[in-house]
Amino acid sequence: MSRHYYIAGNWKMHKTRAESAELAQALVNELKDGKHKYLIAPSFTNIETVSAIIEGTNIRLGAQNCAPEEQGAHTGEVSVLQLKDLGVQTIILGHSERRHVYKEDNALINKKVKLALSKGFEVILCIGELLEEREAGRVEEVCETQTVKGLEGVSIEDLANVIIAYEPVWAIGTGKTATPQDAEAVHAFVRKVITRLYGEEAGKKIIIQYGGSVKPDNAAQLMAMENIDGALVGGASLKTDTFVPIAKFS
Ligand code: PEP
């Protein structure tokens, strides 16, 4: 099996440049002998600072979003070309905060996914159900729709640069984690969806991260599940004390 563990930190709208630099430098030191694949995604304003610190290390540089267009009259947006210029390698798209707070729909997310892939970025496509959707028995339907629509028009070659992050919205930033069994059931289902869309080999290869209140004390149990290939970490990625044990779980 060619899958590897991939641990990503989403710093959201936290930290000044100096604070970002301090955390990035500490992670470079702590993770230099880490066995997994790593990524940190600072705020746009801190990307250049962090880029200089992690360049040439085993930590990839991520952005938390991008505009759906390459350039032009798009006040307040940030282009893939600008992200490339800063050394960004990976873009997180479809995060639940983008979907539910900033009302990004599947069509917009799909446009961003295709643009980012066309410019050579790796994409972490986030999917996940709201609590009311889980309670209504709609987990599979929601995750399938977000996966299928998010990847519409993405070729099998480009799929090699796509990671799916299953993040049940009710577990993000709430301290409530899906049980390893509940998360595993969704991961296995999403892998089946990818297999149906792209074939057996692609289904086996795709990395599916879990996100939603991942902490040092629950990371290993989640990662032990067959179809969970890593984590997208929010709150616990903001401190070395909490991110390093997750990143170095065994
Ligand atoms: C996230 O924002 O992707 C996330 C999973 O956040 P948290 O770990 O804080 O739940």
211-234 residue pLDDT tens: 999 999 999 999 999 999 999 999
Mean pLDDT in residue range 45-55: 98
pLDDT category, 175, cuts 50, 70, 90? confident
Mean pLDDT in residue range 93-110: 98
177 has a pLDDT exceeding 90:
no
pLDDT category, 176, cuts 50, 70, 90? confident
How many angstroms is it from 11 CA to the middle of ligand 1?
9
Mean pLDDT in residue range 182-191: 98
In this prediction, residue 250 carries a pLDDT of 87
Q: Are 134 and 142 in contact (CB under 8 A)?
A: no
- What is the average pLDDT value for the chain, to the nearest integer? 97
Mean pLDDT in residue range 56-71: 98
Mean pLDDT in residue range 225-244: 98
**Could you count the other beta carbons within 10 Å of the beta carbon of residue 52?**
12
> Smallest Cα–Cα separation from 70: which of 81, 85, 59?
81
In this prediction, residue 184 carries a pLDDT of 98
In this prediction, residue 155 carries a pLDDT of 98
Residues 6+ apart with CB under 8 A from 214: 177, 222, 231, 232, 233, 236, 246
Ligand 1 site: residues with CB under 6 angstroms? 10, 167, 172-173, 211-214, 232-236
Classify residue 233 by its DSSP letter.
Answer: E
Mean pLDDT in residue range 10-17: 98
Ligand 1 atom closest to Cα of residue 211: 5
Mean pLDDT in residue range 92-103: 98
Mean pLDDT in residue range 131-155: 97
Q: Are 215 and 242 in contact (CB under 8 A)?
A: yes
Cα-based distances in Å from 133 to 124, 130, 139: 22, 5, 6
> Smallest Cα–Cα separation from 29: which of 229, 243, 233?
243
Nearest CA to ligand 1 atom 4: 234
235 has a pLDDT exceeding 70:
yes
In this prediction, residue 30 carries a pLDDT of 98
Nearest CA to ligand 1 atom 7: 234
> Smallest Cα–Cα separation from 163: which of 78, 67, 57, 62?
62
pTM tops 0.95: yes
pLDDT category, 132, cuts 50, 70, 90? very high
How many angstroms is it from 160 CA to the middle of ligand 1?
24
In this prediction, residue 1 carries a pLDDT of 53
Angle at which helices 47-54 and 17-31 cross, to 10°: 20
12 has a pLDDT exceeding 80:
yes
